[in-house]
Structure 1
Amino acid sequence: MSGHFEPIPGGGAAVALDEVEISILRSLAVQLLELIGPGDEPVEGEDPLNALFAEGPSEPPADPALARLFPEAYAGPDADEADEELRAASAEFRRFTEKDLRSRKRDDALCLVRTLDSLTAVGEGGAVLKLTADDCLHWLGALNDLRLTIGTRLEVTDEDENDDLYRLPDSDPRKPMVMAYLWLGALQETLVETLMS
C-alpha cells in the first residue's frame, strides 16, 4: 500500500505514509491555509444572518496562485475593454461565491491537517492513514489545490509535458517543488482510482 491509496471496507481509503511524507503533507497544507487566509469571524453580538449574506471581494486576487485557486468565472485576466460586460459579470459572480469557495478550500486543507495529526502510531516505518468517504472528498480537494498552487509557482501550463519536470537536474532549485508536485499528483490519482473502484 505504500505511496498509494487503497479502498477500505465500508467506504473510504487508506494509505501508508512515512514520517517524512506526513511532515511534507502537513507543511504544504499549513502553507495552503496561510495562502488562502483566515475565515471571517462573526462580530460578537452581530446577527448571524448578516454574516451569511455578507458579500465577498469583486476583484480577482493579485497573487497568481490565488488567482488560479479562485479564477474568473467569465472573463479571463487578459480580457480587453470590449469584454467589460464579461468582466462585470465575473465581478458579480465572485462577490457572491468566493467566500464560500475559500471556506470550502480551508475546510479541505484543515481536514488534511487534522487527519494527519490524528495518526498516533507513527514509528520508523510510518503509519497507515485511514480516511472516511467524507475525508476522502476533502483530501481530493486539498490535493488538487496544492497541485494547482505548486503548478502555478512552477509556471506549469496545460500544454506542458511532465517530461521536462522529470528531467530537471538535482542542482535545479525547483527540483524539491517539482518532486512534491509529481508526488501529490500520484497520490491524487490513486485516491480517485480508489474512490471509483
Structure 2
Amino acid sequence: MGGTFQALDGGGAAIVLDDIEISILRSLAVQLLELIGPGEPEPAADADPLAALFAEGPSEPPSDPALARLFPDAYGGPAGPQAPGADPAELAAMSAEFRRFTENDLRTRKREDALAVVRSLDAVAPAGGGEAELELTGELPMRWLGALNDLRLTIGARLEITEDDESAQLFRLPDDDPRKPMVMAYLWLGGLQETLIETL
C-alpha cells in the first residue's frame, strides 16, 4: 500500500490504487456506513418543512466507543471543551441539548462522506496490471478527507488509541498480534489523509 495523493492541475487530487487497496477502502467505508446507521426516512410530501428542519436527535451520547469518538460531547467529557469550575451536571445538560439539535445533521454529513468514497471507488476499475487512477474533483476531496478522518477515529477507538504518540508503539507490534491488520489500516489511512491535506 504505497499510493499517495498528488495534486491535479486545475485543482483536486489523484491517487493510483491497486485492486486490493480499492477493496480495502471500500470495505472500510461500507463498515463505517453500517456503524453510523441508516439515515432519517424521507419526510412525507405533505410534511411541514420547518418541523423537519428542527427534528430532534438523541440527547444521550452513544455507548459504542467508536460512535462516541465520532459524536463526542460538545461540553465536558474527554473530548469536549473544559471550563474550570464548571458544574459537571450543567455541562452534561448543555451537551445533551447541543447533541439533540446537531447529531442528526452530523450523522447525515458523515454518511454522505462515506457514501462518496464508496461511489467514487465503484466508478474506477483497475486496468491491466491491477491499478487504477482515482481523480477527486469538486467537493470529493473534502468528502474523502472527512471519511478518512472518520475511519481513523473509528479504528483508533477500536485500538484504544488516546494519544498521538501511541501510534509509534503500534509500529512495534509483533506480526502475530491480532491488532496488526487494524494497525496497518490505521497507519495507511493516516498517510492517505496527510497527503490529501497536502494537495489541498
| TM-score, with length taken from structure 1 | 0.92
Residue 75 of structure 1 aligns with which residue? 76
Q: 1:40 and 1:123 mapped to 2: Cα distance? A: 41
The letter for the 2-side match of 1:136 is: P
Q: 1:56 and 1:122 mapped to 2: Cα distance? A: 45
1:186 equivalenced with 2:191 (yes/no): yes
Residue 28 of structure 1 aligns with which residue? 28
Are the aligned partners of 1:13 and 1:133 in contact in 2 as well (CA < 8 Å)? no
Shift in Å, 1:125:
2.9
Shift in Å, 1:47:
2.9
SS of aligned partner of 1:21:
helix
Distance 1:122 1:30, change over 3 A: farther
1:109-128 residue CA offsets vs partner (Å, 9 max, x unmatched):
00000100010344433100
Residue 7 of structure 2 aligns with which residue? 7
Q: 1:23 and 1:159 mapped to 2: Cα distance? A: 27
1:42-94 residue CA offsets vs partner (Å, 9 max, x unmatched):
34343333222101110000000000000000021699x94111110000000
1:55 equivalenced with 2:65 (yes/no): no
1:147-191 residue CA offsets vs partner (Å, 9 max, x unmatched):
000000001112543221111111000000000000000000000
**Paired residues for 1:62-101 under 5 Å:** 62-76=63-77, 82-101=87-106
The letter for the 1-side match of 2:98 is: F
Distance 1:109 1:41, change over 3 A: same
Distance 1:75 1:18, change over 3 A: same
Are the aligned partners of 1:57 and 1:95 in contact in 2 as well (CA < 8 Å)? yes
Equivalent pairs counted in the alignment come to: 193
Residue 42 of structure 1 aligns with which residue? 42
Distance 1:56 1:130, change over 3 A: same
SS of aligned partner of 2:139:
helix
| Equivalent residue in structure 2 for 1:141, among 143, 146, 170 | 146
The answer for unaligned runs of 5 or more in structure 2 is: none
Identity of aligned residues (%): 68
Are the aligned partners of 1:5 and 1:190 in contact in 2 as well (CA < 8 Å)? yes
SS of aligned partner of 2:14:
strand
Are the aligned partners of 1:42 and 1:48 in contact in 2 as well (CA < 8 Å)? no
RMSD over equivalenced CA pairs, Å: 1.9
SS of aligned partner of 2:88:
helix
Q: 1:21 and 1:149 mapped to 2: Cα distance? A: 19
| Equivalent residue in structure 2 for 1:175, among 170, 175, 180 | 180
Q: 2:127 and 2:19 mapped to 1: Cα distance? A: 7
